[in-house]
Amino acid sequence: MFSGKVAIITGSAQGLGKAFSRVLLEQGGKVCLSDVNPNVLEKTYEEFKAEFADSVFSLPCDVTEKEQLREVFRRTKETFGRIDLVVNNAGIVHEVQWEKCIDINLNGTIRGTQLGLEYLRRDNGGNGGVILNMASLAGIFPVNYTPVYCATKHAIIGYTRSWALHPDAVNNGVRLVCLCPSFVDTDMIKMDDKSKYIGPDLAQSVLDKHGVMSIDKITQEFLNAIGDETNNGVSIAITKEGVKNIPSPRP
């Protein structure tokens, strides 16, 4: 499905970003790994390089720095000759450092989406493709212990849905979609730093109630999302109970 195609994935040194990168490489794709943590990024790059040779390269990037992110796109196009998929995956949870949370989660996604449209759209020399933005079940339902995080994810869904309806995307072969998982077994949900929540006891109780999904489950839905050409403006809610596609309302 992805053989010969090229992806940029932010926050791909570990967690879901790393898993998404691996599955695309296993399908014969090419991936630019990008992450704010250069040490972890280098380890992931060396691991993938040993398996997939020249199908992968890496470039450290802080998505809050627009010129760093632009360089990721420029270098990917220069290295692989094309870009087919942009995954805006970088994100954090932090209710105390809330400005940082907004700048990474929301502003980083907006920056990545705008660059993705610039490089993918056919009237600008692209081949069309997919922009997948990582939202969350917290983008669909309110969450009392992470209101800022919740706000960023609601905004990502609204932003993605809006671009999915825009003629500049539709007429140039660019689809946009959101993945909205509940708790996934990554470092983001570890409770070792309770200061990032407003009411860590609330967070723990919800985590205990709803449980944690495996990364493999999200990876499969990731593949379904990018492979299904009817998915545009769709928010894909993923829980332990199942998967639900929530189409974009039309004005």
Q: What's the confidence (pLDDT) of residue 190? A: 56
- Burial (CB count <10 Å: 0-12, 13-18, 19+), residue 164: buried
Q: What's the confidence (pLDDT) of residue 193? A: 61
Cα distances (Å, whole numbers) of residue 11 to 26, 108, 112, 113, 172: 19, 11, 12, 15, 27
Of these residues, 45, 145, 149, 159, which one is catalytic?
A: 149
Q: What pTM does this model have?
A: 0.93
Residue with tokens 């998915």: 231
**pLDDT confidence band for 194 (50 / 70 / 90):** low
Q: What's the confidence (pLDDT) of residue 90? A: 97
Lowest-pLDDT choice from 70-84, 122-136, 213-227: 213-227
pLDDT at 49 over 70: yes
Contacts within 8 Å (CB) and 24+ apart, 219-226 = 219/16, 219/19, 219/20, 219/23, 221/179, 221/181, 222/16, 222/20, 222/23, 222/132, 222/179, 223/1, 223/23, 225/130, 225/132, 225/177, 225/179, 226/1, 226/2, 226/85, 226/130, 226/132, 226/177
Q: What's the confidence (pLDDT) of residue 57? A: 96
Q: What's the confidence (pLDDT) of residue 83? A: 98
pLDDT at 204 over 80: no
Lowest-pLDDT choice from 37-46, 133-142, 188-197: 188-197
Q: What's the confidence (pLDDT) of residue 145? A: 85
**pLDDT confidence band for 242 (50 / 70 / 90):** confident
Among the listed residues 171, 170, 183, the one whose alpha carbon sits nearest the alpha carbon of residue 233:
170
Q: What's the confidence (pLDDT) of residue 249? A: 82
Domains belonging to the chain, first-starting first, are 6-246 (3.40.50.720)
149 is catalytic: yes
| pLDDT average, residue stretch 119-142 | 96
| pLDDT average, residue stretch 137-143 | 89
